[in-house]
Structure 1
Amino acid sequence: MEISAQQLSTRNARLLRLATYASVMVAILLITLKAVVWFMSGSVSLLASLIDSLMDAGASLINLVAVAYALTPADKGHRFGHGKAEALAGLAQSVFIAISAIVVLQQGIDHLLNPRPLEAAWFGVAVMLISIIATLLLLAFQRHVIQHTGSTAIRADALHYRSDLLMNASIIIALILAYYGVPGADAVFGIGIALLIAFSALQIGRDAVQILMDHELPDAVRKEAMALARSVPGVIDVHDLRTRESGQQWFMQLHLELPGDLSLTDAHELGEQVRHTIIRRFPQADVLVHKDPVHPQPSAQTQTAD
């Protein structure tokens, strides 16, 4: 059963809002638990995780505002909609994450040079296990949302939470090693986590910049759009396909080569067939079609006669 562009937009808007609410709720829960146990233990790896969760909460709040703005309809000042607010949110997230990486790195180096006793390690382990379960549940829902919407903001959020899984597992190992007297384990793991966070920030920032710079849609999408246009009877060829992404909206512009003796009405109807053929396959696409007349070249025999 085909879904209309309006139904797709409504469904995606609902999924995006639910994803942002879920992310904020999980971040607040984890911040509360980690803050209590870090205060009890003084663990630098737990501090790293706490700061990371604080950044998660800040990024999720940015997402909440950005997604709500991105979903507002196009207006006089923004004829192409407000979708790039999602990419701006992703860029802001990368800055937050990079700051958290620097703070954790500084704390890790300080604890490595000036070791401190670790208390309440098993409480920390329990909190990390709760964090892993909550993060897995959130990621499962985010994966569902990304599959249906392709949201840059939710993808950035999910990337960060995926790195949290490895981080939480490493913190459990660090706490256990520190509890059994392995010197510097907690600090070393904290430094490793900081480097992982920095790498995540780089990935998120790069993806956001690509969208803000109107990077083309994937080659597979472009090739399929060209093939769909060429499949419409009466189209001689297609060229100059240009694409970009803005939030939930794709924009495509292409030139159709049509017989030069077509009437304006027939050329328009053929262009509309191409446009609807592409939209049926990609309901999120806004397709603009330009028609180029192609006149048959005179044959060699005719040229000789002339």
Structure 2
Amino acid sequence: MSAHGDHTVERLAFWGIPLSFGVMGLKLVAWYVTGSVALLSDGLESTVNVVAAFIAYFVIRYAKRPPDEDHQFGHYKAEYISAVLEGVLIVVAALLIIQEAVGALRAPQLLEAPVLGLAINAAAGVINAVWATILIRVGKTHRSVALTADGHHIMSDVVTSAGVFVGLVGAVATGYAILDPVLAILVALNILYQGWKVISHSVSGLMDRAIEPEEEEALKKAIADNAMGSLGAHGLKSRRAGPAAFIDFDLVVPAAMTVGEAHRICDRLEDAIGKVVAGAVTNIHVEPESEKAHGVRIAVERKAK
């Protein structure tokens, strides 16, 4: 990630804190004026957004720290920890919502001041939709796992708010008060699903998942097209850690090739790889042709003279 990208991600994470407080305040006001348990459930999810915004901001600041003696590959994986924590908080919020909704099922009540409450909640939903879109777009562009997870979480909140709005309009129109707690339970189930997705994706990152298949194909082509002078490459391995992608492979060269010549090929390969794999940190092991190859061999593109 570039210095500009670092600044952009950190700045968005910071502004997510006051914005999440504002949206939570709007949703709780909507619940207060209506007494709706579905709107309360929507507001409870927003309290999780506040906690998640704080976590994301401080973790993003920590993750961008340069490598040190104790963390020689950098601090990138801190973002995955943030995303896991956010997923756990989402699940906790869903369980709290179910608890409130089950209690309301025993004595459902019609909404008070429904128009005002729904209007306030709708305004909060629009703010969240715009903000979530920005977070997801910037998070994917700069490969910030924490920012992207935060954006997806807020977008699930938007879906929740839309469902609550439609359902409560139906409850008011039909007079069926039980639709309110039933809707809250459906909202909670959706939140549980979103929490599971955030946790599973983050755990996958913590387990050193390889780069995406399309990135790997571009990587192999970059090696084949830019390893002229060598005899080929093999043993390609990769792992993604937030914005960084660690890439290792063996480069086979003629036994008589000098260190300087081999080094020039490696420099050319590192430059080419950096153009096709974002955040690439490349480690190339040079070995003579007499060594036994391991793993899939990548043939070198032969240029016509």
Q: TM-score, normalized by length of structure 1?
A: 0.89
8 Å CA contact retained: 2:33, 2:117: no
- The answer as to 2:132 corresponding to 1:135 is no
Alignment match, 1:273: 268
Residue 64 of structure 1 is matched in structure 2 by: 57
Confirm whether residue 287 of structure 1 aligns to residue 279 of structure 2.
Answer: no
Q: Structure 2: which amino acid aligns with 1:190?
A: A
Task: Name 1:250's counterpart in structure 2.
Answer: 245
Residue 43 in 1 paired to residue 36 in 2?
Answer: yes
Instruction: Give, in whole Å, the separation in 1 of the partners of 2:187 and 2:273.
Output: 45
List alignment gaps of at least 5 residues for structure 2.
Answer: 292-305
Matches for 1:1-306 after TM superposition, within 5 Å: 8-180=1-173, 181-232=175-226, 233-295=228-290
Measured against aligned partners, the alpha-carbon deviations of 1:189-237 in whole angstroms (never above 9, x if no partner) come to 1111100100010000011101111111111111211211111212322
* 8 Å Cα contact 2:30/2:121 also seen in 1: no
Pairwise CA distance, 1:74? 1.2
Distance 2:8 2:134 in 1: 9
Root mean square deviation, CA, Å: 1.7
How far does residue 29 in structure 1 lie from its aligned partner after superposition?
Answer: 0.7
Q: 4+ residue stretches of structure 1 with deviation over 4 A? A: none
Task: Measure how far apart 1:37 and its partner are.
Answer: 2.5
- Work out the number of aligned pairs and report it: 289
CA contact (8 A) 1:261 1:295 kept: no
Equivalence for 1:3: none
**Cα distance in 1 for residues equivalent to 2:144 and 2:35:** 38
SS at match of 1:231: helix
Identical aligned residues as a percent: 25
Shift of 1:295: 4.5
Q: Provide the rounded CA distance (Å) in 2 between the counterparts of 1:86 and 1:26.
A: 21
Give TM-score, length-normalised by structure 2. 0.90
> What SS class does the counterpart of residue 225 from structure 1 fall into?
helix
In 2: Cα distance, 1:117 partner to 1:223 partner: 58
How far has the Cα of 1:100 moved from its partner? Answer: 0.3
Q: Does the Cα contact within 8 Å between 2:110 and 2:177 map onto a contact in 1? A: no
